[in-house]
C-alpha cells in the first residue's frame, strides 16, 4: 500500500509539471491556433535562467523563479511579435515550421553560451519528510503545491478579471471579440506571456529533481502535445486532467510494468484514448 | 455621420463590393436590403474594420477612418451586432454583456447605467443572467447580441439580419426594439431580408445587388416602388 501511495505521489508530481507546461501550450493553441513547438525550448531557457540566477548571481530560489518567469515571458512575447504575428495570415504549416525554427535557435544559443553539460540545480528545500511509511522530499511537495497554486491563480485571473475575460472571449469567438473592441495584439501578447511564465515556473520547480541541459524540453514538449490532444486542443481543464493522467500513467506504469517503457506509456495511452474518444476528453467550446 | 465613398472590397480576386457610396445621417434608421450573397455582411464588416477596403474611403463624422482596426472603430462608436450573433457561448449572459462594454471598462458607473438600461429593455435577460449564452433560445441569444452591442454605447449601431431564424412573433418584437433604440437617439444601420417589416420602421433604404448599390430612397418611395415590392416584399 505504501509503495502504491508513493507512486501516486510521484504521479502527482510529474502530472502537475506536465499540466503546467501543457496549460501554456493549450492556451496559445486555443486562442491563436499556433502549435508552439518552441514551448519546450522556452521551458529549457527558464531552467537555465533560474540556474544561473542562483549559481552565478547567488540569488535565492524564489528570486530565481521570478527572474526565470520574467525573462521567459519577455522571450515568449518577442517570439509572438517577431515570428508568429507576421505569420498570422499565412497557412498553418508556416507557424509549425517557424516554431521548430525558434526551438532549434534557442537550443543552439543556450548550448553556445553554456555548453551541453548536464547540470544539477540547487534547491533550499532538501529535507525529506516522512508521513507514516511515505517518504516525501520537500521539493516534490513544493512542486505539487506550486503547480496547483499557479493553476488556481490562472483560473482566478481568467475568470475574475476583464483582461482574463478578453482571453477567453477570443478563444470562444474571435470575430465576436473583435466586434466588442478587444485588441487582438494585446490578447496575443498576453497569452504568450502567460504561457512563458507557466513554462518557466514549471522548469524552476522541476529542475532540482531533474537535470538542466539544452535538450531537456524535447520529451516534455512531446508529452505536452500528447496531453493537449488527449485533453482536447485548447481546453484548460483538459490540459490539467490530461497532465495528471499522463503523470499517473507514467509513475504507476513505470513501477508496475517496466521503468524502461515509462515514456512509451504516455503515447500508448494517447492511442487508446483517441480510439475511444477521437476529439479528446474536453472538447466543449474551443476548437 | 457615416459616409462611404467609392468603396471596393475583395475576397482574393472576387470583388464583393463594387464602388459603394452611401451615407447615414445622424439619428436616421437606414435599411440595407439585399438577397443572400448580395454583399450586406461584407459591407458591414468593411465599415467595422474586419475587412479592409481595397479602394475608396470611409468617413465618420468628417474623420477618415478607412482601414482602422475594429477596436478603434468600436472606440469611435461604430458597433456591429453581427449576423449569427457571434456571442461567447460558454460565458454567462451577464459576462457577454459586460464584455460588450470592454472599451468603456474603466467607467464602472457608466457600465452599470447602460447595463440597467439593457436589462430594462430585455427583462428576460435579467432572469437568465447566470446562464451560458449558448444555452438560450435563438430569440434570447439575439437579445444578448443586441444588448452586448448596446453596452458599447454605439453612436452608430449596425444590425446584420437580427430577425434571421426567429419566430414571427419574436421578429415583431425585435423590430419594435430596434425602433425604440433608434428613437432613443442611436443611429441605426439595419441589414434585412425581411423587407416589409424593416421598411416600415426605416427612414431611408438602400438596395444592394451583387456588391453594388442599385437603388436608394426614403421609406415611402421604397415601399411604393414596384421593383422593390416584386423582389423583396413579394406582393
User: B174 to chain A, minimum CA–CA distance in Å?
Assistant: 21
- Mean pLDDT of the region A9-31: 94
For residue B189, what is the domain's CATH number?
A: 3.40.50.300
Q: Does any domain span residue B7?
A: no
CATH topology for the A2-276 domain: ABC transporter involved in vitamin B12 uptake, BtuC (1.10.3470)
The answer to whether position B3 is within a domain reads: no
Question: What average pLDDT does the segment A215-230 reach?
Answer: 92
Q: Please check whether residue B10 lies inside any domain of the structure.
A: no
Q: Indicate whether B20 belongs to any domain.
A: no
Q: Is the pLDDT of residue A286 over 60?
A: no
CA distance A272 to chain B (A): 29
A285 has pLDDT over 80 = no
Report CB contact under 8 Å: A179, B89. no
Q: Does B233 touch chain A (CB under 8 A)?
A: no
Mean pLDDT of B100-112: 95
- Chain B hits for A160, CB-CB cut-off 8 Å, are none
Q: Give the pLDDT mean for A143-170.
A: 94
Per the domain annotation, does B195 fall within a domain? yes
Give the distance from CA B87 to its chain's centroid.
15
- ipTM of predicted assembly, 2 dp: 0.91
Using one digit for the tens of pLDDT, what is the confidence trace for B107-162?
Answer: 999 999 999 999 999 999 999 999 999 999 999 999 999 999 999 999 999 999 99
Nearest CA in chain A to B158: A179
Residue B12 forms part of a structural domain: no
Q: Range with the lowest mean pLDDT among A48-57, A251-260, B29-38? A: A251-260
Q: Give percent of chain A with pLDDT exceeding 90.
A: 70
> Does the pLDDT at position A280 exceed 60?
yes
> Is A93's Cβ below 8 Å from some Cβ in B?
no
Distance between B155 CA and the closest CA of chain A, angstroms: 14
Q: Is B92 on the interface with A (CB under 8 A)?
A: no
Number of domains in chain B: 1
Minimal-distance CA residue of chain A relative to B145: A176
Q: Flag whether B145 is in a domain.
A: yes
Quote the domain boundaries for residue B182: 27-38+47-201+211-233
**Res A282: pLDDT:** 82
Q: Is residue B229 part of a domain?
A: yes
Measured between beta carbons, the chain B residues lying within 8 angstroms of A179 are 48, 50, 70, 74, 79-80, 82, 86, 149
Q: Which of B71, B88, B151 sits opposite A176 (nearest CB)?
A: B88
Q: What's the pLDDT at B202?
A: 95
Amino acid at each position: 500500500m505504501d509503495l502504491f501511495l508513493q507512486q501516486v505521489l510521484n504521479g502527482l508530481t510529474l502530472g502537475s509539471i506536465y499540466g503546467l507546461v501543457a496549460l501554456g501550450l493549450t492556451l496559445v493553441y486555443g486562442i491563436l491556433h499556433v502549435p508552439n513547438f518552441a514551448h519546450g525550448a522556452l521551458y529549457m531557457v527558464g531552467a537555465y535562467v533560474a540556474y544561473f540566477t542562483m549559481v552565478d548571481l547567488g540569488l535565492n530560489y524564489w528570486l530565481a523563479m521570478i527572474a526565470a518567469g520574467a525573462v521567459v515571458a519577455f522571450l515568449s512575447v518577442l517570439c509572438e511579435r517577431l515570428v508568429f504575428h507576421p505569420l498570422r495570415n499565412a497557412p498553418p504549416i508556416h507557424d509549425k515550421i517557424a516554431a521548430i525554427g525558434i526551438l532549434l535557435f534557442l537550443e543552439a544559443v543556450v548550448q553556445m553560451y553554456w555548453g551541453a553539460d548536464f547540470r544539477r540545480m540547487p534547491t533550499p528545500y532538501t529535507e525529506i519528510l516522512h508521513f507514516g511509511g511515505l517518504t516525501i522530499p520537500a521539493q516534490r511537495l513544493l512542486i505539487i503545491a506550486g503547480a496547483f497554486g499557479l493553476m488556481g491563480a490562472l483560473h482566478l485571473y481568467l475568470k475574475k478579471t476583464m483582461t482574463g475575460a478578453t482571453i477567453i472571449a477570443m478563444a470562444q469567438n474571435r470575430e465576436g471579440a473583435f466586434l466588442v473592441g478587444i485588441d487582438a495584439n494585446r490578447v496575443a501578447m498576453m497569452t504568450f506571456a502567460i504561457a512563458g511564465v507557466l513554462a518557466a515556473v514549471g522548469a524552476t520547480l522541476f529542475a532540482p529533481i531533474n537535470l538542466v541541459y539544452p535538450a531537456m524540453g524535447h520529451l516534455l514538449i512531446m508529452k505536452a502535445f500528447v496531453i493537449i490532444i488527449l485533453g482536447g486542443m485548447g481546453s484548460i481543464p483538459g490540459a490539467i486532467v490530461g497532465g495528471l493522467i499522463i503523470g499517473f500513467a507514467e509513475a504507476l506504469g513505470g513501477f508496475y510494468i517496466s521503468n524502461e517503457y515509462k515514456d512509451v506509456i504516455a503515447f500508448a495511452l494517447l492511442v487508446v484514448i483517441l480510439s475511444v474518444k477521437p476529439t479528446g476528453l474536453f472538447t466543449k467550446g474551443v476548437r | 455621420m457615416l459616409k462611404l465613398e467609392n468603396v471596393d472590397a475583395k475576397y482574393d480576386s472576387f470583388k464583393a463590393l463594387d464602388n459603394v457610396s452611401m451615407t447615414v445621417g445622424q439619428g436616421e434608421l437606414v435599411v440595407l436590403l439585399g438577397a443572400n450573397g448580395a454583399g450586406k455582411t461584407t459591407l458591414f464588416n468593411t465599415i467595422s474594420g474586419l475587412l479592409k477596403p481595397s479602394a475608396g474611403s470611409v468617413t465618420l463624422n468628417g474623420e477618415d477612418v478607412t482601414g482602422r482596426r475594429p477596436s478603434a472603430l468600436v472606440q469611435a462608436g461604430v458597433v456591429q451586432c453581427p449576423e449569427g450573433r457571434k456571442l461567447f457561448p460558454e460565458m454567462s449572459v451577464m459576462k457577454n454583456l459586460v464584455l460588450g462594454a470592454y472599451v468603456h471598462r474603466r467607467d464602472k458607473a457608466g457600465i452599470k447605467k447602460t447595463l440597467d438600461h439593457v436589462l430594462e429593455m430585455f427583462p428576460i435577460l435579467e432572469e437568465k443572467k447566470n446562464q451560458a449564452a449558448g444555452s438560450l433560445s435563438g430569440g434570447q441569444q439575439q437579445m444578448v447580441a443586441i444588448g452586448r452591442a448596446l453596452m458599447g454605447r454605439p453612436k452608430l449601431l449596425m444590425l446584420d439580419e437580427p430577425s434571421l431564424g426567429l419566430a414571427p412573433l419574436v421578429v415583431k418584437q425585435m423590430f419594435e426594439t430596434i425602433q425604440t433604440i433608434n428613437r432613443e437617439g442611436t443611429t441605426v444601420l439595419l441589414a434585412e431580408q425581411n423587407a416589409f417589416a424593416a421598411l416600415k420602421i426605416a427612414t431611408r433604404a438602400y438596395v444592394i445587388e451583387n456588391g453594388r448599390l442599385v437603388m436608394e430612397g426614403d421609406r415611402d418611395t421604397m415601399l411604393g416602388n414596384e421593383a422593390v415590392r416584386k423582389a423583396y416584399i413579394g406582393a
